[in-house]
Amino acid sequence: MNLVGSLFGSSIGRKIIMALTGLILIGFVVVHLVGNLQIFQDPDHLNGYAQFLHQLGPLLWVVRIGLIVSVVLHIWAATVLTLENKRARGAEYGFKHTIQATLASRAMRWTGVIVLAFVIYHLAHFTWGVVQTETFKETPPLNHYTMAKDYRVAGFTVVKAGADVANVYNMVVLGFQNKVVALFYIIAVGLLSIHLLHGFDSLFQTLGLRNVKWSALVRKAALALCWVYFLGNLAIPGAVLAGKLQPHSAKVAPAVQR
Ligand code: HEM
């Protein structure tokens, strides 16, 4: 069997696919959070950042396709491995032999399904703009913004002062002013953090790191990371609900549709 064949055709291969796609998705959510935290600077930062991403054009699509492929492979491998485990357990023991392992994998399934539903809602909300349209898309001039200063990445100006850009800052703030939406985001990122924690556990198991001397330390580091991730995500809807982040209506451009 060639490499691709053995990756897809064996249990250990599928575990490796789970681990690799999981790492890609963790990379995305961490970078996404760091980008989103720019909301705590001025609107130029988040709006300039969003404009910069949109300007990437085909490169953005390469990243998007990479993410879609990772999500599909992650779900496929998880499903096949779960079915195999169930069959093996049934054949060997005829009953659930480790309650803890069963609970953990059940938690992975449910948190995974809810996070996937959240991502679809999130795309409909912030990327496609087809939910909560009344609070953003149809209320110019709140949805447009003129950059007050240059937005720079690695020392290079990527969006110039005076550029007319979408007001992503307002989109997020207005979106989270709806308490139900904000609460949904908070619950979803909480579940995602639990999913990540169990994911780290499985990853360490796949890599054979579960029983080494420093495994307790590695687990503590994973727990700390998941908490930081959760609190970072909680901070954004939390700050909106607490009234610390307000829609920005100064320095807006005429209401031109994007
Ligand atoms: C408080 C938490 C979050 C905020 C404020 C937020 C904000 C945003 C915004 C503003 C966009 C649209 C960017 C644009 O098109 O200009 C976006 C896109 C996206 N977000 Fe989030 N996000 C959050 C959490 C998450 C989480 C937890 C996930 C994944 C589990 C996620 C996945 C995505 C994806 C996949 C996109 C589409 C990216 C693309 O256009 O290719 N987001 N988010």
Task: Give the model confidence (pLDDT) of 24-60 as tens digits.
Answer: 999 999 999 999 999 999 899 999 999 999 999 999 9
Q: Residue 131 is inside which H or E element, if any?
A: none
CA–centroid distance, 94 to ligand 1, in Å, is 43
Residue 101 identity? A
Residue 252 pLDDT > 70: no
The residue ranking higher by pLDDT, 135 or 15, is: 15
Give the largest Cα separation in the chain, rounded: 69
Q: 126 CB under 6 A from ligand 1?
A: yes
Please tell me the distance between residue 100's alpha carbon and the centre of ligand 1 in angstroms. Answer: 33
Look at residue 138 in the predicted model and tell me its pLDDT: 59
Average of per-residue pLDDT across 133-144: 69
Q: In the prediction, which pLDDT does 207 show?
A: 77
How many whole angstroms separate alpha carbon 18 and alpha carbon 70? 9
213 vs 237, higher pLDDT: 237
Q: For tokens 């300007």, what's the residue?
A: 55
* 77 pLDDT higher than 50: yes
CB atoms inside a 10 Å sphere around CB 242: 9
Residue nearest to atom 16 of ligand 1 (CA): 50
Q: Which of 21, 23, 12 is nearest to 72 (CA)?
A: 21
Considering only CA atoms, which residue is closest to atom 26 of ligand 1?
A: 29
Work out the mean pLDDT of the chain and round it to a whole number: 86
52 with 251: CB under 8 angstroms? Answer: no
Question: From the CB of 122, is ligand 1 less than 6 Å away?
Answer: yes
* Phi-psi domain of 95 (left: phi exceeds 0; alpha: psi -120 through 50; beta: other): beta
Q: Which residues contact 40 (CB under 8 A, 6 or more apart)?
A: 235, 239, 245
Instruction: State whether the beta carbon of 173 lies less than 6 angstroms from ligand 1.
Output: no
28 Cα: distance to centroid of ligand 1 (angstroms): 10
> Which has more pLDDT, 202 or 157?
157
> So what's the pLDDT on residue 205?
79
Nearest ligand 1 atom to the CA of 53 is: 16
**How are beta strands 156-159 and 151-153 bridged, if at all?**
antiparallel
Residue 102: alpha-carbon gap to chain centroid? 26
- Residue 185 CB–ligand 1 contact under 6 Å: yes
Nearest-angstrom CA–CA distance, 217 and 30: 21
pLDDT at 177 over 50: yes
Distance 172 CA to ligand 1 centre (A): 10
User: Global pTM?
Assistant: 0.88
Distance from residue 198's CA to the centre of ligand 1 (Å):
22
- Tell me how far apart the alpha carbons of residues 158 and 163 are, in angstroms, rounded to a whole number: 11
Q: Is 73 in the pocket of ligand 1 (CB under 6 A)?
A: no
pLDDT of residue 198: 87
Structure tokens that stand for 160 in this block: 């110039």
The minimum-distance atom of ligand 1 relative to the CA of 115 is 30
d(CA 202, CA 182): 30
Is residue 240 pLDDT above 90, yes or no?
yes
Is the Cβ atom of 32 under 6 angstroms away from ligand 1?
yes
Q: Which of 127, 176, 177 to mutate to test the pocket of ligand 1 (most atoms within 8 A of CB)?
A: 127
